Amino acid sequence: MTAAEIRETIIRTVLENGGHMASSLGAVELSIALAKVFDPMADRIVWDVGHQSYAWKLLTGRADDFGTLRRLGGLSGFPNPAESKADAAVAGHAGVALSVAQGLAFARDGMGRRENVVAVIGDGAMANGTCLEALDNCAVVGAKVIVVLNDNRMSISKSTGALSRFLGRVIAGVRYNRIKAAAEAAGHRMGFTFMRGAYHRAESFIKGIFLGSAFFERCGLRYIGPVDGHDPQALEAALSVAKRDKRSVLVHVVTVKGRGYAPAEADPVKWHGVPPRRDPAAPPQSGRAWSDVAGETLCDLAARDPRVCAITAAMREGTGLSAFAGKFPDRFHDVGIAEGHMVAFAAGLAAGGMRPFVAVYSTFLQRAIDQVMHDVCIARLPVVFCIDRAGAVGEDGATHQGIYDFAMLKCIPNLTIVQPADAADLRAAMEEAMLRDGPTAIRYPRGRAPGKIAPLSRPGARLAIWTPGDWLAKANEVAGKIGATVVHARSLKPFDAGLLAEQRASGMKIVSIENGCVAGGFGESIGADMKFGWPDEFVPHGPVESLERKFGLDADAIAAAILKKYPAGA
């Protein structure tokens, strides 16, 4: 497939199915060059986050199935070794590719094999703590790896931090790039194929003089670049040199996010993730996004209290903090893809007298559980975790389902965990958390917050359904089918033990319904007689409604299962 054909296929499919548009369009020529220089089925290509991997899927035997992207039972939106041998590792969270690649390379050498190992890493992920630890370990491990640094000056939001500024200086070095351009032109005129080695040796010398780019060299990586990531000849030449070199090599590739699709080039943040095309027959959506409600509330709190500050890890837009960043720039902190640092930084702010709110997707908070425990909760610091995308997120699949945060957090002492039911309830929960003398986690799902909703109360019922706020409407629907009463478990920890004991004493049966994993979930906390939630397996990609039907978590299936065990109902 040509680059134009690949881009046309990606654009058409993502507009229909949803997915990661801008980053995948920016990596088309890079994917083509990787597939030409390396053997996708024998060499190990490790993508750091699959946002950029759609072209790779199309080039490695999955073109005929690409229309199933992100659909239930179809292709994953991320690399997955279970899907193709061309995918060396699962790649949903940023920053781990170099560590995985080092392990693969060391195993290769130890087992006497000869395959190439390549890690493709974005500039935002390069500053991740795990990636920096792997860089520090490159020279120690010794096994050769090839690192392709795909530099588009973006993660999801614009890249931040010292490393991003350093890479920007490398790219923008006027004197160096003038000499580099002249050297490339001479190389092409003189027969580039046999000049590659001499050209890149000269290039390294020039960079050392003009750019001080010894950072990667000191980590044990020979540096090649910057290379135009949309020039096929330049890409193939640089990768071929890296392949032949006996040392570990970093190839610095400069790309444009959204390349070839004008709307995505103009606004790569907006076109980072595209929702699936909406069914025109579906009823119009109402209400504001949970993320927007959280962001608006945080702006109001900050206007009233100068101690309030907001922190995110490269997710300003996704977590609803754009307005806060504009109104309170001195109290807004984007730490980049560095969740562990984000939480420890928040602990320091809280210990210093501030009131930090950490806005983070559930799937990414997993990366900082140690800091939540060690730095925040032991010291009982007033950090508020606004846990966005808590619950099943659908098409992003197993690496992104936000169904594990409660099970991970509930065992940590000193932490209050709440789950509001609607927009007004979220605002109230954030206000309460700011006044609490200790840490709070507030969970809320993807999508839009409903209007005011109350639990269905049925005096005299013999069965009580306990549920966190996001599935309160579903619990009400189930209760209406079987004659039960509903308890909104707004406080998940501590839960209302008095009410539970009272219901137990009256002979009521307790059912839990939660948008989280059953193993270690809220149902276990309260000792429910029946527990409904996501099973003890990784939940695949697909529309949330389809996943709920697949796992028996739609209202009809839950009601039928309850009546099967308790035929008399409530």
Q: Helix/strand/coil (H, E, C) string of 85-111?
A: CCCCCCCCCCCCHHHHHHHHHHHHHHC
For residue 361, list its beta bridge partners: 388
Q: Report the 10 Å Cβ neighbour count for 253.
A: 29
Task: Report how far residue 72's alpha carbon sits from residue 280's, in angstroms, rounded to the nearest whole number.
Answer: 20
Distance CA 427, CA 442 (A): 11
Catalytic (active site) residue 339? yes
Is residue 224 within 8 Å of residue 241, measured between CB atoms?
yes
Task: Tell me which of 44, 62, 316, 367 is the catalytic residue.
Answer: 367
- Token pair belonging to 446: 């993807």
Q: Would you say how long the chain is, in residues?
A: 570
Residue keyed to tokens 């040392």: 247
CB 404 within 8 A of CB 390: no
Active site residue 490: no
3-state secondary structure of 47: strand
Assigned token pair, 274? 């595209």
Catalytic one of 29, 236, 317, 339: 339
Integer-rounded Cα radius of gyration of the chain: 26
How far apart are alpha carbons 530 and 523 in whole angstroms?
Answer: 8
Catalytic annotation, pick one of 257, 331, 355, 389: 257
Among 522, 552, 527, CA closest to 539: 552
Token look-up 């290379």 returns: 227
Do the Cβ atoms of 268 and 52 come closer than 8 Å?
no
Cβ neighbours for 418, distance < 8 A, ≥ 6 positions apart:
429, 432, 433, 440, 441, 442, 443, 490, 491, 492
- Cα(151)–Cα(172) distance, integer angstroms: 13
CA distance 181 to 474: 62
- The verdict on whether 307 is a catalytic residue reads no
Task: Please choose, from the candidates 433, 430, 109, the residue with its C-alpha nearest in 3D space to the C-alpha of residue 294.
Answer: 430
Cβ-proximal residues to 530 (8 Å cutoff; 6+ apart), any chain: 509, 510, 511, 512, 523, 561, 562, 565
- Residues with a catalytic annotation lie at 257, 339, 367
